[in-house]
Structure 1
Amino acid sequence: MHAAMKRNINITGNGTMHGGSFRHVRVMGEAKILGPTECESVHCMGTLDVTDTLAAGRYKQIGEVVVNGDLVGEQLNVVGRLDVQGSVRGRSVRLRGQLDVRGECEAERFEARGGFAIRGLLNAGEVDIRTWGPCRAKEIGGRRVVVRQSKWGGLKQLFSGQGPLSLTAELIEGEYVYLENTTADVVRGANVTIGPGCRIGLVEYRDQLKRLGDARIDAEIRR
């Protein structure tokens, strides 16, 4: 017997649906999904509230989404505001807006043009951050970690809360680390560059440490 073909879900305007296993989910308007949901793709233009975990091969949003569980996917593209009560796991995470994660965020590549607050660990092979708004993470780890301040400072008012266009973390660690406008207790890496606007408590490096502009480093150790 052939397995039942997964159906597509399309919500236009206002609607509520029960979770389950689907092929494609498309929202144009305002929608709520009750229960855990698994699908090949999600495309949301508007507002979406998911009461449990959401797993999607391809995820794209333009608007505001709340996931009251984990968000899991291959390609996660966020334009707008995303609030995840659990953790985020994806091969690629691309942010253009505001991301709030109560747990951890794990990806092969994390690219942010906006602001974010990650209460746990941000872990990705490639971390590329342009601070268009306040960015915070407990710890950041990756093979290559690059943080630069965006020249689009006028976009700051688009993001929730007020604060400097900077990154704050307890620990930042990677093979290659380049930082601007970053405040961190500890930075560890093989090749480390601490750039303008940085305030770092301790830098532990293996091969090379560069200090640019008005960067402040309280202590440094070569391992």
Structure 2
Amino acid sequence: MHATMKRNIRITGSGSTHGGSFHHVRIMGEAQIFGPLESDSMRSMGTIDVTGALKIGHYRQIGEAVVHGDLTGNQVDILGQLNISGSLRARTIRVRGQLDAHGECEAERFDSSGGFHIHGLLHAAEVDIRTWGPCRAKEIGGRRIRVRQSKWGGLKQLFSGPGDVTLTAELIEGEHVYLENTTADVVRGAHVTIGAGCRIGLVEYSKQLRRAGDAQIRAEVRI
């Protein structure tokens, strides 16, 4: 028996294709994909609309994309704007622009320099966020969480439009937590640093709590 050879897809200009299983997908221009698609790699430069889930080994996007379903992969690189009606799951997620995920976001490493709105849980072993625009998640969990304000925060309009250049979450929980320009109801961790521009309701820590700059903490409890 011979293994079935996967086909490649290349769309230049404007075009469409049905879903399926492929080797490489290359899009330069405007494309529609009807149905779920699985591919070893996908590179898009332009605008794409997918009416189904994507399962991609290496997903790289420059431009805009809408995915009506989940996006799962090994490595996801976003330069531009990505809107997902489901959840985003990958080993590594890099955001350089705007991410809107209506489900959850899970990774080993989440690296964002831009803005995002994750309607569910953002969970990654390593979370590194630079706030170029408004960043929102219902909850954030991980081993090491670091949130810093970008020096280029004034460029937020390029990504998210009007809004504070800050991170907002109901709960942030990790072993090592360092926060700047963050508004949260509860922050919980072993080693916690609440830095400049933070407005925190309750901090629960087990080993160390540091406060810097104009940070505001309503209550703190050692657990």
Q: Deviation digits for residues 56-95 of structure 1, max 9, x if unmatched? A: 0000000000000000000000000000000000000000
Match of 1:59 in 2: 59
In structure 1, the residue matched to 2:201 is 201
Counterpart of 1:37 in structure 2 is 37
AA aligned to 2:142 is: G
Q: Deviations over 1:110-163 (max 9, x none)?
A: 000000000000000000000000000000000000000000023111023311
Separation (CA, whole Å) in 1 of partners of 2:98 and 2:147: 16
What stretches of structure 2 of length at least 5 have no aligned partner? Answer: none
Normalised by the size of structure 1, how large is the TM-score?
Answer: 0.99
Q: Give the gaps of 5 or more residues in structure 1.
A: none
Identity of aligned residues (%): 71
Number of the residue aligned with 2:69: 69
- Corresponding residue for 2:24? 24
Give TM-score, length-normalised by structure 2.
0.99
Whole-angstrom distance in 2 between the partners of 1:153 and 1:77: 21
Q: Distance in 2 between matches of 1:45 and 1:172?
A: 34
The letter of the residue matching 1:215 is A
- Report the AA paired with residue 55 of structure 1: K
Q: Give the secondary structure class of the aligned counterpart of 1:36.
A: strand
Match of 1:96 in 2: 96
* Residue aligning to 2:139: 139
Q: Give the Cα–Cα distance (whole angstroms) in 1 for the partners of residues 157 and 66 of structure 2.
A: 21
> Does residue 216 in structure 1 map to residue 211 in structure 2?
no
Aligned-partner Cα distance in 2 for 1:22–1:194: 47
Distance 1:164 1:88 in 2: 25
Report the equivalent of 1:149. Answer: 149
SS of corresponding position for 1:103: coil
CA-based RMSD of the aligned residues comes to 0.5
Post-superposition CA distance 1:179-217 (Å, at most 9, x none) = 000000000000000000000000000000000010000
CA distance in 2, matches of 1:154, 1:194: 23
Equivalences, count = 223
39-48 vs 153-162, which deviates more?
Answer: 153-162
| 3-state SS, counterpart of residue 47 of structure 1 | strand
Corresponding residue for residue 116 of structure 1: 116
| Counterpart amino acid of residue 180 in structure 2 | E
